[in-house]
Amino acid sequence: MEQRDTGRQGPPAWAPRVDPGPLLPDAAPYRVLGTEAARAADPALLRTLHAELVRGRRFNTQVTALTRQGRLAVYPSSTGQEAGQVAAALALAERDWLFPSYRDTLAVVARGVDPVRALGLLRGDWHTGYDPRSERVAPLCTPLATHLPHAVGLAHAARLKGDEVAALALVGDGGTSEGDFHEALNFAAVWKAPVVFLVQNNGYAISVPLAKQTAAPSLAHKGVGYGMPGRLVDGNDAVAVHEVLTEALARARRGGGPTLVEAVTYRLDAHTNADDATRYRDEEEVAAWRAHDPVTLLERELTGQGLIDEAGLRRVAEDAEALAAGLRDRMREDPPLDPADLFAQVYAEQTTQLREQAALLRAEIEAEAEAAGDTPGEAAAGAPPDGGGGAAGEGVR
């Protein structure tokens, strides 16, 4: 509040620093599909979004199967949430940055990162799996919301340098209960950083429903408290999410500051492959959301407008199956592992302690190799005696 001294006795008069009206989200989530606005949408965009949604759904099912085979340590599926992830990736300009959370592997792939590299962290064979700088995609963030201040920092730095760059940070509804979320929003609004926060509200923070996390009218309303607009959108409507994010990113690039977007969606699968979702939700609830499936919604719009036929649908499905087959084949190959990499990416210049530890490990590996009759090179590469991996479950697809 701006305080003004009126010269009168008593407290000074005050007025809101910012009119909260324009910052408030709509009363209901914004939608395009199934409305007249869909007729005005770019047909090419509709087809692209649909193709990416189908690929994304197949990607989720394939990676889930690979996790059951032991090819990944864990996989947080985004089945049911593909619209937000695909729309986020496609709304970004080439120079923009994506800051994903652990459930946003699909967004990373849709951004153009090689699928196997995108799964590197969840596979457990590399620190990130891809080069964040060249891909302009931050590492997948497992700790809830800790990547949001990083997104603000990058966006603020770009603004100070005069670069036309925006950052898009993805987080779940559970992440909005973390302090990092609130710190990031506060700094972003004060600095007018060119960053957009996309909250994918899928109803549950693991097993905790949204009603037990917040009493706010919506998560989008939280933006008002920090002085930024809040937008509420149907998270299963890929066209609506793409439109809202495109507008928010354009606003950020031209100096308008941050935006908080809440996409209302639903996680059809369990939290991860280690979770039993039947303990905290019933099948009736899941079935109701399956009727609002993002792939079905967009496919219905395309066929209704005559923008795709059976042959087109078949081509999209075949392309998605080719993605899954390639991923399946490549993930069966055990990556070459070098234990020396443990020390390679810690500091730009290794410390004395790291050099000592690396030397100790190298000596142990060479001693084991000599005892086993292997060459030092074979042992240093970390190849297990049986080739590793095994073939258990390879018939599951």
What's at 103, amino acid-wise? R
Q: What is the per-residue burial (b if ≥16 Cβ within 10 Å, else e) of 284-317?
A: eebeebeebbbbebbbebbeeeeebeeeeeeebe
Give the separation between CA 91 and CA 156, rounded to whole angstroms.
20
Establish whether 266 is a catalytic residue. Answer: no
Concerning whether 30 is annotated as a catalytic residue, the answer is: no
Q: Which residues contact 150 (CB under 8 A, 6 or more apart)?
A: 99, 138
> Which residues does residue 197 pair with via DSSP β-bridges, in sequence order?
169, 260
| Residue 271 a catalytic site member | yes
Distance CA 280, CA 85 (A): 25
244 with 233: CB under 8 angstroms? yes
Longest dimension (CA), the chain: 93
Only one residue has tokens 């759904």, namely 57
Exactly one of 39, 95, 254, 280 is catalytic; name it: 280
- With residue 219 as reference, give the H or E element that holds it: none
CA gap 33, 243 in Å, rounded: 12
Known catalytic residues?
A: 267, 271, 280
